[in-house]
Amino acid sequence: MADQHQPQGYLALLLHAHLPYVRHPEHEDFLEEDWFFEGMSETYIPLLQVFERLSAEAVPFRITMSITPPLAEMMADDLLCRRYLRRLESLLELGEREAVEKRGTAFEKTALMYRDFFRSVRETFVDRCRMKILSAFRRFQDEGVLEIVTCPATHGFLPLMLTPNAVRAQVAVACANYRKHFGRDPRGIWLSECAYAPGVDVALAREGIRYFFLDAHGVLLGRPRPRYGVYAPVYTPNAVAAFGRDMESSKQVWSSEEGYPGDGAYREFYRDLGYDAPYDYVRKYMHPDGIRRNIGFKYHRITGRVPLHEKTPYDPDAARETAALHAGNFMFNRRHQARYLASLLGQPPFILAPYDAELFGHWWFEGPRFLDYLIRKLAFDQRDVVLVAPGEYLDDHRRLQVIEPSASTWGDKGYNEVWLNGANDWIYRHLHACEQRMVELAERFPNAQGIFRRALNQAAREILLAQSSDWAFILTTGTATSYAQKRTRDHVSRFHELYGQLLSGRVDDRRLADIEAQDAIFPEIDYGVYRS
């Protein structure tokens, strides 16, 4: 913003990177850990590579990412990183094999692309990051190009919690974890599922959080009416700034019909080698159960609205050109939007464009490339729209309107229904019972030491893990529901077990060590956060 030219508008790109904490040391091979492995190869490492390229070529940019505490804990976990490396090497081996296998076919170029892709992912992960990718993200934050915000400790759905203590604990544990990983206080937070209800800002203010994000209607239905709509941040009654989501820029990327990721030139997600190749050929890249699943080698393009068997071969170069075209279109639209809004509002608008990080790369394979092009174009081809980080914007714009935002989420229908419906409402009576018992424990044992302290801390971990909004979400969507049920019941049961042991004054050391080894998130936790 040191630029002399007065911009017509500010654009904040926000990537929300999150995965639930899935780590099963008790099994050699665990299917749901794949979520993390795929996220690493397809999204997190490719994003890092984009930042590296831009930074190496001195392209000015600002980008905001939330790296949620569970994801950060997984990225920093030795066991998971070793398992990931094992997976990566096996895919790399397949990549080398495929490059030979597909020689002279219509898929040759794509096969070579995968080989190079996995080689470069391995190089970034092993040679450059030394398997510590968090420190690579941290480096970009320290350089000032990336702003990392936190997220409630286990992506808990704050408005459906019963006690203020539980809400506060989600925020406080997240902040402590952020300090551990990133060496400073978090300035902003992405509320899980963008879920806000009046009063949540109290917990944020208490932990020194300066800003958070709302879905558009959270701001627009606020009281009093927000003067600049979602195009300027507001203060909540407790003096935390809130940025509202811009629907227009969201739609261009998110929408399954009109969105860029649905273009025919892009890679088709559902046509995968895991199903296409002869069973014996791909067997060794699958899980021990031997069921065919996606393995990440996809050779077809979306083509159009045709059945999977009619998809035509993917052309990496054509897809890349399309990504460049879309980046140009996105920029064009933002410039027009900014100019129009600036004349309407009498001040440059702040445009917030938040996305799930996993959309880029995992789902929309060309997404990281799109970001790369977009950032370059914004930097060199125009001066109307400037990329900003929210914290930086607040430093320069301190006078904001005060409104009480409306309760809202970014889920279907805009409120809590995705996380509260017939498929998952049974969880809340248990989660609430845990909350109340945890508060009771924290008050009753204010200065526990030794094994009691360990048990109390573990109880806090169990309730936090049970609260992850992912379980409720999965129960609603109907895929992998048994795992979501199991995780909810496991953590709630372990919590009650520890509660019972603590009240009886007899903590079973071996059992506790067992649970600690299984649910090893947040080693730094202090159960005292649950005290009133």
Q: Which residue has the tokens 């790296």?
A: 67
* CA distances to 105, 116, 408 from 93, in Å: 20, 11, 47
CB of 295 to another protein, least distance (A): 12
Q: Which of 135, 141, 312, 401 binds another protein (CB under 8 A)?
A: 401
> Which of these is catalytic: 356, 404, 440, 490?
356
CB of 407 to another protein, least distance (A): 4
The CA distance from 75 to 280, in Å, is 33
Q: Which of 90, 238, 312, 518 binds another protein (CB under 8 A)?
A: 238
Q: Which of 2, 58, 100, 291 binds another protein (CB under 8 A)?
A: 291
The CA distance from 419 to 432, in Å, is 15
Residue 21 has which token pair?
């904490």
Contacting another protein within 4-33 (CB under 8 A): 19-20, 31-32
Judged by CB under 8 A, does residue 501 bind another protein? no
Judged by CB under 8 A, does residue 415 bind another protein? yes
Residue 137 near residue 68, CB atoms below 8 Å: no
Judged by CB under 8 A, does residue 35 bind another protein? yes
Based on the residue annotation, tell me whether 193 is a catalytic residue of this protein: yes
Judged by CB under 8 A, does residue 366 bind another protein? no
Judged by CB under 8 A, does residue 410 bind another protein? yes
Judged by CB under 8 A, does residue 254 bind another protein? yes
Q: Residue 299: name the closest of 313, 309, 285 by CA.
A: 313
Half-sphere exposure of 501 (CA within 13 A, CB side): 21
Using the rule CB under 8 A, give the single segment among 115-123, 139-147, 330-338, 471-479 that binds another protein: 471-479
Based on the residue annotation, tell me whether 519 is a catalytic residue of this protein: no
Using the rule CB under 8 A, give the single segment among 104-112, 125-133, 338-346, 474-482 that binds another protein: 474-482
CB of 343 to another protein, least distance (A): 17
Judged by CB under 8 A, does residue 39 bind another protein? yes
Judged by CB under 8 A, does residue 290 bind another protein? no
Judged by CB under 8 A, does residue 162 bind another protein? yes
Q: Which of 179, 483, 508, 520 binds another protein (CB under 8 A)?
A: 483
Using the rule CB under 8 A, give the single segment among 66-74, 145-153, 399-407, 518-526 that binds another protein: 399-407
CB of 139 to another protein, least distance (A): 26
Q: Residue 367: name the closest of 215, 251, 262, 249 by CA.
A: 262
Number of chain positions touching another protein (CB under 8 A): 100
In sequence order, which residues have a C-beta less than 8 Å from that of residue 281 and are 6 or more positions away? none
The CA distance from 33 to 488, in Å, is 17
Judged by CB under 8 A, does residue 356 bind another protein? yes
Residue 527 near residue 465, CB atoms below 8 Å: no
Nearer to another protein by Cβ, of 404 and 508: the residue is 404
Judged by CB under 8 A, does residue 488 bind another protein? yes
Residue 403 near residue 213, CB atoms below 8 Å: no
> Which of these is catalytic: 193, 246, 272, 366?
193
Residue 454 near residue 465, CB atoms below 8 Å: no
Within the chain, what is the greatest distance between any pair of CA atoms? 72
The CA distance from 208 to 105, in Å, is 58
The CA distance from 527 to 502, in Å, is 13
User: For 68-163, where are the alpha helices, taking DSSP H only?
Assistant: 69-75, 78-101, 108-122, 133-143
Nearer to another protein by Cβ, of 16 and 122: the residue is 16
Contacting another protein within 47-106 (CB under 8 A): none
Active site residues: 193, 356
